[in-house]
Amino acid sequence: MSLGAVIAGAWRDNVLVSALVELTYRCNLDCFYCYNDLGLPGEPLSRAQWERLFEDLAAMQVLQLTLTGGEPLAHPDFFALGRRARELGFLIRIKSNGHAVDEARARRLRDEVDPFLVEVSLHGAGPESHDRQTLVPGSFERLLGNLGAMARVGLRVKLNATLTAWNEGEIEAMFALADRLGLRLGFGATVTPRDDGDATPLSIAPSRAAVARLYRVLGERTPDPPATATSPEGCTPPPAAEKNCGAGSSGIAVDPHGNVYPCVQWRRPLGNLHQASIREIWASSPVLAGVRGLTVEAKRRRDGLGETGRWMAFCPGLSEQRTGDPLGVEPGALARAEVLRQVRTGAAPAAGTEAVVRRAPPPGAELGAAVVPPAGAAARRRTLLPVIA
Amino acid sequence: MTGSAAFGGGDAYRPRRDVRFRRIGEEAVVVRQEAPEVLVLNPVGARVLELLAGGEPLDAVGAKLAAEFEVAPAAAAADARAFAAELESAGVIEPAPEAETGR
């Protein structure tokens, strides 16, 4: 049986394979478009509660555990939790900004946590764009030094970037930088609102032309781009899957306060680990049952969009956040699908699509729309923590 | 040591340090982090790996397979040895140090 068939089976039979845990929202950077809800109420999970969660997930045969944040290394028990995750046999992925991963910490990561992959955020090809987005001067140069340290100790590293209005002129330069460093670069085109609904990040959403250029570059760099790719952004269903994605079926996300969600983007609470174990939530959450049904409906919804649907990364979580309806077509997704279709097929804009894009979106939803940050947005700034500075 | 001929019934093996695996449904998904490579094992293969990882020596693995899958003990033992050889040559398992197995 192929891996794709195994994953398809997990989606179908609701077998939890992957969990993403946001250990903390503390961070040593202050990225302008960070999606974390820094005002999220609740009590942080204790180290013992995180460990109990990990033990339950291991007993449930969860393979992949993603440690993220905020900056996961900013959690005071990060290494203890990482060691426990390793003991429990997870395939560990760490999503970090890399700012604190100097050579000493890189060695500790390798020796104590042994992650399969460390995914590090890259915001630009140079300090002007990178530091502008992180809001921390010097962060680009420090990142370059730390990437070198990670390479020297043998960590497997991948770079992740999000296309924004501030780095859209550097697409090729960012790939060239990644090539020079000998690292893969994953590049997404979707800037999302914050998890509390604050649309400020959309003020630096990329232009349509930049999205098209990114898709062209990605196509050129992929030896054999699929003829009917859904999107370069992931979440592509296995063949013949009846669901749109594995949210709540093969994957979950957990925030620092123990709220459990179908995925990192779909912030519909399924339960809370202060009140119930993950086993109980997985087995009996009525919200989760509804989410699984919605992923089936979402697949039908996308299929119903015909040609456009084939090119679309249909995210029920983002749709719910942007339109109030997980089955609603989020205008940005529609626009990106059309751009991708044009880039991959060389076709002219589909009749009517442009009108849909112009008519439907709320402020900020179009690819390059400018949104005036709400008053008080600056008050969101994090306290930069000395613990991992 | 590779190949089934080299495997004795009392030998014990363990997953290599970079190997992660889980049961997903009936199958086992095995990831070799350093390759990197993903292998999918069928239910019998999944059980062999599970038993070896649990510290069972090969002869005990064969006996358990015979009981659980209702096959002749000799055939199960041969299958276990052959599959262990395959897993070792694929970089999934390695001989366990004696201290770990109590031998």
Domain ranges in chain B are 4-101
Q: What ipTM does this complex have?
A: 0.87
Contact indicator for A341, A307 with CB cutoff of 8 Å: yes
Residue A196 is which amino acid?
D
Contact indicator for B91, B35 with CB cutoff of 8 Å: yes
* Per-residue pLDDT of chain B in tens (103 residues, 90 and over written 9): 334 445 555 689 999 999 999 999 889 999 999 998 999 999 999 999 999 999 999 999 999 999 999 999 999 999 999 999 999 999 999 999 875 554 4
Beta partners for residue A64, in sequence order: A18, A91
What whole-number distance in Å separates Cα of residue A318 and Cα of residue A267?
Answer: 9
- Where does A60-202 have alpha helices with state H? 78-87, 103-108, 127-134, 139-153, 171-181
DSSP symbols for B8-43: -TT--EEE-TTEEEEEETTEEEEEETTTTEEEEE-H
What whole-number distance in Å separates Cα of residue A17 and Cα of residue A93?
Answer: 13
Mean pLDDT of A195-217: 95
What whole-number distance in Å separates Cα of residue A282 and Cα of residue A288?
Answer: 7
B23 to chain A, any CB pair closer than 8 A? The answer is yes
Mean pLDDT of A97-118: 98
pLDDT score of A360: 32
Q: Which CATH architecture has domain B4-101?
A: Alpha-Beta Complex (3.90)
Closest Cα in chain B to A93:
B33
With contacts defined as CB-CB under 8 Å, which chain A residues touch B32? none
pLDDT score of A313: 87
Q: What is the number of other CB atoms lying within 10 angstroms of the CB of residue A11? A: 24
- In angstroms, the Cα distances linking B72 to B24, B41, B44, B48 are 27, 22, 14, 16
pLDDT score of B7: 55
A17 to chain B, any CB pair closer than 8 A? The answer is yes
Burial of A315 (0-12, 13-18, 19+ CB in 10 A): buried
Q: Which of B18, B29, B33 sits opposite A63 (nearest CB)?
A: B29
Residue A306 DSSP code? T
Interchain pair A3, B40: CB under 8 A:
yes
pTM of the model: 0.88
Question: What is the spatial order of strands in the sheet that A184-188 belongs to?
Answer: A184-188, A157-162, A117-121, A91-96, A64-68, A18-22, A251-254, A259-261, A271-272
Of residues A351 and A91, more confidently modeled: A91
Contact indicator for A75, A23 with CB cutoff of 8 Å: yes
With contacts defined as CB-CB under 8 Å, which chain B residues touch A61? 22-24
What whole-number distance in Å separates Cα of residue A105 and Cα of residue B84?
Answer: 37
Closest Cα in chain B to A58:
B22
Res A162 pLDDT > 50: yes
- In angstroms, the Cα distances linking A79 to A22, A112, A148, A224, A321 are 14, 7, 21, 40, 34
Interface probe for B, chosen from A63, A87, A153 (most Cβ of B below 10 Å), is: A63
pLDDT score of A310: 87
Contact indicator for A163, A157 with CB cutoff of 8 Å: no
pLDDT score of A372: 33
Interchain pair A116, B38: CB under 8 A:
no
